[in-house]
Structure 1
Amino acid sequence: MTLKHVVAAVQMNCELCNKAGNLQKAQMLIEQALEQQATLIVLPELFNTGYRVEEQDWQYAETIPGETTDYLQRIATQHDVTIIGCILERGEIEGTIFDTAFVIAKNGILGKYRKTHLWDQENIRFNRGDALSVIHKDDLKIGLQICYEIGFPEGARILTLQGANILVYPSAFGEKRYYVWDIASRARAIENGCFVIAANRSGSEKQSTHFGGKSRIIDPQGNVLAEAVQEDECIVATINLQRVIQQRREVPYLRDLNKAVFHPSE
């Protein structure tokens, strides 16, 4: 079993409604991660379209699998790498849209997650997801959440109790709420004894939405192993899953959780 993994978070400024350009930029940043031997790479929320495409949500939404996941699948297959992204997904019912994260490896789509806690106008734009599950890639047990959900400890805890040892947050998190991003991302790591990868957007859209950047990789003690400082950047860190076990033994929140009171899996 391989306990050490090189993981990466991509931070990028996206051009609204320019799928081709955004995919090319994402590939460039993925290639930077590959040059540093990364085997798990996380992209931001709605990286392929930009976030503020609300007037054209249906136009730019895709099926999974579909155009964007096929594009990333080719990269994953060529380089034997795992890629996590997040796009607008067309639902099974015509006219419905989800904000959906997915995990792609060389052998295909390993799983997906539809955002359940929607921020502000997302409640008008999107349908809510209704399921949490851990996605396995070798000894990595990946719990997916999206952006705003970094402030909801319940989802992270349920995923941890389902076996997650790494929590991943593709995000388009706002600049003025950096204080939430900073504390919540480290809190989710500490309280669950997990690694956290939070890949955030940078730049601005429609002169009113300003993204916070500061994508980060965090260890189970809440230490920030790497943090992005540039508009377009790929940060990389080596994680050792043995630290998950060590932290959960040193601070045994999961052992001491009174499940009979909280019923976290129901």
Structure 2
Amino acid sequence: MTNRLRVSILQTDIAWENKQDNLRRLREKLETLRGATEIVVLPETFSTGFSMDTGKLAEPVTGDTITTLRQWAAEYRIAIAGSYISCEGIPASSENSPLSGGHPAYYNRAFFLTPEGDAYFYDKRHLFRMGGEAAHFTAGSSRSVIPYRGWNILLLVCYDLRFPVWSRNVNNGYDLLIYVANWPEPRRKAWDILLQARALENISYVCGVNRIGADGNRFPHNGGSAIYSPRGELLAGVPDNEEGIATAILELSALQQFREKFPAWKDEDAFSIVSDNNLR
């Protein structure tokens, strides 16, 4: 068990639909972090940008992107988190799915890859309706807590931030909540407020990583990558509109002491989640 966990947020621009360039840039940054951190968090769809061209860009979990990142996690002794455009074979037929009828299933798939060789994945549940994401991707149906060095970590993606029930920390099930994102500048106020709110309401550390720069659709992004304490205090952040890395040291014992001193979690409401697909 590790009481102190160093988490680094990596705020970058993203070369549109250019995997090789984005991977090259990432390796350069990982070189500078060797021995300096335990977890590196990347923006959503870090290798391509938030593109809907799934047919051209999607890869299985055995593809080059994840295979390369798993090698780097082992080489640099750093856990790596982010998301990429993933595909699988033939999804189960469903009249509610735009991808049913014998087509491959595409996912905005988050990953958490450890130096020890473990790999954890989460498929984005809340697809961004206003950007047409649901017409190209299949929504995930479950979330899971990742065990890492004595910590419990929940990994979610971008638009998930707007849905507090999906992010809810039931019975202190996780200690660190991570959001990876492509969050446009015009809605930046919501990003800032909701990240801090998730830390306060869930009595958890919260880490959010967003990109900068204009994407292939000319939507601007100005960052706002940050790490918050369970008290809502800003522990680390990267300046707006700049590529950069910021690292915070998180302490599990301090979190547990605060939960004992201020046990609001004992008064939480019980609930179940039901979707169009009868998700519970």
- TM > 0.5 fold call: yes
1:23-81 deviation digits (Å, cap 9, x = unpaired)? 1111222333336x111111110010111x32x22211111132111111111111221
Distance, in Å, in 1 between the alignment partners of 2:72 and 2:216 is 31
**Unmatched runs of 5 consecutive residues or more in structure 1:** none
Matches within 5 A, 1:30-69: 30-34=30-34, 37-51=36-50, 53-54=51-52, 56-69=53-66
Distance, in Å, in 2 between the alignment partners of 1:234 and 1:33 is 9
Alignment-derived partner of residue 267 in structure 2: 256
Structure 1 residue ranges (4+ consecutive) displaced by more than 6 angstroms after TM superposition: none
| Structure with more helix by fraction | 1
Alignment-derived partner of residue 96 in structure 2: none
1:143 has 2:142 as partner: no
| Count of residue pairs the alignment pairs up | 260
Which residue identity is paired with 2:79?
T
**Unmatched runs of 5 consecutive residues or more in structure 2:** 91-102, 275-279
TM-score, normalised with respect to structure 1 = 0.92
Alignment-derived partner of residue 167 in structure 1: 177
1:107 has 2:116 as partner: yes
Distance, in Å, in 2 between the alignment partners of 1:124 and 1:29 is 34
Q: Secondary structure at the match of 2:42?
A: strand
Distance, in Å, in 1 between the alignment partners of 2:58 and 2:224 is 27
Which residue identity is paired with 2:18?
N
Relative to structure 1, the CA distance from residue 18 to residue 181 in structure 2 (aligned partners, 3 Å threshold; closer, same or farther) is same
Q: Output the aligned Cα RMSD.
A: 1.8
Distance, in Å, in 2 between the alignment partners of 1:65 and 1:139 is 28
Relative to structure 1, the CA distance from residue 180 to residue 107 in structure 2 (aligned partners, 3 Å threshold; closer, same or farther) is same
Distance, in Å, in 2 between the alignment partners of 1:184 and 1:248 is 21
The Cα of 1:264 is off from its aligned counterpart by 6.4
Distance, in Å, in 2 between the alignment partners of 1:209 and 1:197 is 23
Distance, in Å, in 2 between the alignment partners of 1:170 and 1:43 is 7
State the structure with more CA Rg.
2
Structure 1 residue corresponding to 2:249, chosen from 224, 238, 260: 238
CA contact (8 A) 2:2 2:151 kept: no
Alignment-derived partner of residue 27 in structure 1: 27
1:174-215 deviation digits (Å, cap 9, x = unpaired)? 111111111100111111111111111110023531113011
The Cα of 1:90 is off from its aligned counterpart by 0.1
1:134 has 2:133 as partner: no
The Cα of 1:247 is off from its aligned counterpart by 2.6
Identity of aligned residues (%): 30
Distance, in Å, in 1 between the alignment partners of 2:147 and 2:140 is 20
TM-score, normalised with respect to structure 2 = 0.87
1:64-120 deviation digits (Å, cap 9, x = unpaired)? 132111111111111221111200010232422100101101232431000010112
CA contact (8 A) 2:34 2:77 kept: no
Which residue identity is paired with 1:115?
K
